[in-house]
Amino acid sequence: SLFRLKDLEVPKLGDCNVHIRMLAAPINPADINMIQGTYPLLSPLPAVGGSEGVGEVLEVGRRVTALRPGDWVIPAAAGLGTWRTQGVYPEEMLLKVPSDIPVLCAATLSVNPCTAFRMLTDFESLAPGDSIIQNAANSGVGQAVIQIARASGIKTINVVRDRPDLPKLVERLMALGADHVVTEEMLRKPEMKDIFKSIPRPRLALNCVGGKSTTEMLRHLQPKGTMVTYGGMAKQPVMVPVSAFIFRDVRLRGFWMTQWRKDHAQDQESVAAMMDALFQLIRGGQLTAPACTEVPLQDYRAALEASMKPFVSSKQILLF
Q: How far apart are CA 264 and CA 55, in angstroms?
A: 23
Q: How far apart are CA 204 and CA 118, in angstroms?
A: 13
Q: How far apart are CA 26 and CA 51, in angstroms?
A: 8
Does residue 154 sit in helix, strand or coil?
A: coil
From residue 50, how far is each of 54, 110, 199, 222, 317 by CA, in Å? 11, 12, 40, 38, 11
CA dihedral sign, ordered 129, 134, 136, 142: negative
Q: At what angle do helices 268-283 and 140-151 cross, to 10 degrees?
A: 80
What are phi and psi for residue 80, nearest 5 degrees? -75, -25
Instruction: Give yes or no for a cis peptide into 290 (omega within 30° of 0).
Output: no
The residues carrying an active-site annotation are 39
Q: Select from 303, 320, 105 the least CA-distant residue to 312.
A: 303
- C-beta neighbour count of 302 within 10 angstroms: 13
Pairing relation of β-strands 17-26 and 86-90? antiparallel
Pairing relation of β-strands 86-90 and 155-160? unpaired
User: Do 94 and 56 contact (CB within 8 A), yes or no?
Assistant: no
User: Do 154 and 131 contact (CB within 8 A), yes or no?
Assistant: yes
Does residue 73 sit in helix, strand or coil?
A: strand
